[in-house]
Structure 1
Amino acid sequence: MKDKKVVVTGGLGFIGSHITEGLIENNEVTIIDDMSAGKLDNIKHLETENIDFIKGDITELNLKSIFDDKDYIFHEAAMASVPKSVEDPVKCNRINITGTLKVLVAAKDTDVKKVVLASSSAVYGDSQNMPLKEDEPLKPMSPYAVTKATGELYCNTFTDLYGLQTAALRYFNVFGQRQDPNSQYAAAIPNFIDKILKGERPVIYSDGEQSRDFIYIKNVVDANIKVCESNKTGIFNIGHGKKTTINELVKVINEVMETEVEPVYEDPRTGDIKHSLADVSKAKSFGFEPEDKFKDELRETVRWFAGGVKAK
């Protein structure tokens, strides 16, 4: 993508800052972020002359004036914590549903060519039909998952009713640099790396044979840009299409970090799913092809968290 004017909502967050990084060299990027979770530190390494930062809440800003001369919208802003959504479903609804609706209305009313929505594999709930396909019946098990499913429906409706091109990307277990290991929604990889760096034993809930589909952040950025440049609309799984058990994950992290830390096993957590695996064949239609470099990707992630730790 070159010479475009784009907006990244939630552009100071983990995924949003990486999308900004992937676009900034050849495009003008406007970031909208209320800084409730995002950090300016996440873009401090970037040349800022092509970045316009607007601090504010997407439910309160005049988005139409912001979108007026923009080409594309990458909508990453959200309450991304399942526990927080359970604690305050009304706030989650306001941010994730009302916010998404406002983004879509503003895009429809301007010359925006496409909106790419960050959705989540959480919409599948505890479905056992692996690998998960986009036409699988949804079983959202939290207010967060409900809001993501609703955002997808709104995207489809705006495409069908108003002709606004939209794509909703169902992220699976994303990992990489700048992910917060201390957040309520911390993923296994940053949490395990952080624990081992501190000389602590990572905690595995259940027997560790539960599996996840881990996808590196740079592949997620690639998916966002490729679907945006394509004429594809609809819902797409964004995962690796490969399952890794939590026990296997700890083993590989130990190999990369040259450690032999044994995890602590605790009782399963209520609501945790046993397995998650994406069928990514639909996303291949716009050129999404994640590389099979899991250990290398973990190595890069470890280096960032450790600030240059020796990684085997």
Structure 2
Amino acid sequence: MFNRRRSLIYLGLFAGPALAVFLLFAVAPLVGTLGLGFFSGATGQDRFVGLENFINILTGPVDGPRFWNALLNNVEFFAIHLVVELPIGLGLAALLSSGVLRRSTGVYRTLIFIPTTLSVVIVAFIWRMIINPLWGLVDFPLLADTHTALPTIALMSVWQYVGIPMIFLYTALIAVPEEVVEAARLDGANGWRVFWQVKFPLIAPQFAIIAILTFIATFNGFDIIYTLAGASAGPDYSTDILGTYFYRTFFGSGASLSDPNRGAAVAGLIFLILLIVTALYFWALQRRTARANRLER
């Protein structure tokens, strides 16, 4: 009994400060923001309106099309990261862990990861200079066309953050037991089959985690769109994602007036989307793990 009480005291001493900071700076602002979405009116004169703000954002004649446009753009933004960033990161990780580069592995790993450490403003400035139609390498205004603006910005983001999946997958690949790889080679498997039939199934959980983290990151995206296209997310809202839509709604920009209550409702919808998708992922992961455990028995 005494040992248990002492353990609880130690747990409170070590975990208490971190828990207090988390509750104060993460949970409390989240709850406050979600609660703000159920009210309407000027500050100090708020009145409870229930789900009215949420309904207007989803179905209103003005807010509805803007929200769904931002959501679809966000899905496209995520899809480009998923089909471009993750395969490139996996390929780079496979190359670096294969031993082909030998002593240069650390150099290439550092060079690939360096863009991740750069400011988004610097990355945006560099790429704006590169694709400038007047003195850059491209003679077409990619950021001024509604069909190419969002894919162009997404590929810039891929270039900056491809080092993150590369590092995660590289560490997973070098942790694969060498005995398993040698056994596959003794059975006559070539390098291609060893990777896809031995190594990749072992790192598939890490790959799935990176995919869900990419989803969360892209649906929280804002900075690179704001830097390159502004709060209006032009041209003609073609680069508008949920982050920039929330910014215009909450803080106001140009012709869009500030409305913290509607902005909080947008933030609540973003949180709900992230919560549902993440919960579905962990539910599927738990089912798969339980099925694998039953097969082992």
Q: TM-score, normalised by structure 1?
A: 0.23
Which structure would you say has the larger Rg? 2
Higher relative contact order (CA 8 A, sep 6+): 2
Q: TM-score, normalised by structure 2?
A: 0.24
Q: More helix by proportion, 1 or 2?
A: 2
